[in-house]
Amino acid sequence: MDLSSAMRTTGAVREFLNKPVPDELLHEVLDDARFAPSGGNRQGWRVAVVTDPAIRRSLSGLCAPVWSEYIAQTAAGETPFSVVQPTSIDLEAAAASFAPNPLIDELESAPAVLVVAVDLSALAVSDKDLSRHSIVGGGSVYPFCQNLMLSARARGLGGVLTTFLTRAEPQAAPLLGLPSGFAIAAMIVLGFPVHQPTRLKRREVAEFTTFDRFDGPNFNVQS
Ligand SMILES: Cc1cc2nc3c(=O)[nH]c(=O)nc-3n(C[C@H](O)[C@H](O)[C@H](O)COP(=O)(O)O)c2cc1C
């Protein structure tokens, strides 16, 4: 699979065949992913390949209320967990109500579960002193995650990067032996897809690209 095809067809996969992912294949994927860039090439990522059913069950239990919060905010027309707009939802009540999510509910039997963490001391966060929410730090770990997804795709696997668990980091930390000073960036579930989405809904280039300034003319160029 060429790179462009892989980038255009790596859609989120949340349903997997009942077929294990060999550790050797996971190693190949991680061995590709490690060539990701990071600020100062600090490579602060760490990965836990979670196989223990008890830990998986606990992770599932931590993710479920976050999904309920997400669903409630979406139903109210909000961007869930927005740093710009405060929620109108009673998140505590939302978290207490069960909303089914097969990916979370069947996490124990998922083919492969990877938790990606990052060493905060390895991050050069150049926007950390601005008065708005900081964005740069994630740029030193999410390229690694996307490399992982692309490599998985190229090797016949599919999966989804999730961030449910980040919201429950304090509870997840002791379960996972997360070192102090590390943050959870993602929980990635991988497996052989039941169905690989290949027609992804994405905005056109001219919808998000302009000349010179962000209020400039659209970059309406045909390639
Ligand atoms: C930073 C980030 C966080 C995400 N968090 C979740 C998540 O918590 N749960 C989930 O099911 N999918 C999650 N996703 C997957 C997105 O929902 C998915 O990429 C998006 O809807 C596009 O889907 P498609 O590739 O199938 O078109 C996340 C993706 C990204 C990049």
For atom 21 of ligand 1, the residue with the nearest CA is 12
Locate 198 and state its tokens. Answer: 């290949």
* The pLDDT of residue 67: 98
For atom 6 of ligand 1, the residue with the nearest CA is 162
Locate 84 and state its tokens. Answer: 């710009």
Q: Ligand 1 centroid vs 209 CA: distance in angstroms?
A: 22
* The pLDDT of residue 198: 84
Q: Out of 15, 162, 169, give the residue to mutate to test ligand 1, the one with the largest number of ligand atoms within 8 Å of its CB.
A: 162
* The pLDDT of residue 167: 98
Q: Which residues line ligand 1 (CB under 6 A)?
A: 11-12, 103, 160-164, 197, 200-201
Scored b (16 or more CB within 10 A) or e, 15-27 reads ebeeeebeeebbe
Check residues 223 and 44 and name the one with the higher pLDDT.
Answer: 44
- Helix pair 169-176, 53-75: axis angle to 10 deg: 170
- Residues 54-74, mean pLDDT to the nearest whole number: 98
- Residues 82-104, mean pLDDT to the nearest whole number: 96
For atom 19 of ligand 1, the residue with the nearest CA is 12
Instruction: Tell how far CA 193 is from the center of its chain.
Output: 17
> d(Cα 166, Cα 118) in Å, to the nearest integer?
12
Q: Ligand 1 centroid vs 97 CA: distance in angstroms?
A: 22
Q: In this prediction, what percent of the chain has a pLDDT beyond 90?
A: 97
Q: Ligand 1 centroid vs 13 CA: distance in angstroms?
A: 9
| Nearest residue to 164 (alpha-carbon basis) of 105, 83, 90, 78 | 105
Check residues 143 and 1 and name the one with the higher pLDDT.
Answer: 143
For 38-48, the pLDDT digits (tens) are 999 999 999 99
Q: In this prediction, what percent of the chain has a pLDDT beyond 70?
A: 100
Is residue 222 over pLDDT 90?
no
Can you tell me which atom of ligand 1 is nearest the CA of 187? 8
- The total of other beta-carbon atoms located within 10 Å of residue 176's CB is 20
* The pLDDT of residue 81: 97
Query: Model pTM?
Result: 0.97
Is residue 119 over pLDDT 90?
yes
Q: Ligand 1 centroid vs 159 CA: distance in angstroms?
A: 10
Is residue 197 over pLDDT 90?
no
Is residue 2 over pLDDT 90?
yes
Can you tell me which atom of ligand 1 is nearest the CA of 164? 8
Is residue 216 over pLDDT 90?
yes
Query: Mean pLDDT across the chain, nearest whole number?
Result: 97
Can you tell me which atom of ligand 1 is nearest the CA of 70? 8
In which band, very low, low, confident or very high, does the pLDDT at 223 lie, cut at 50, 70 and 90?
Answer: confident
Q: Which residue is associated with the tokens 């050069």?
A: 124
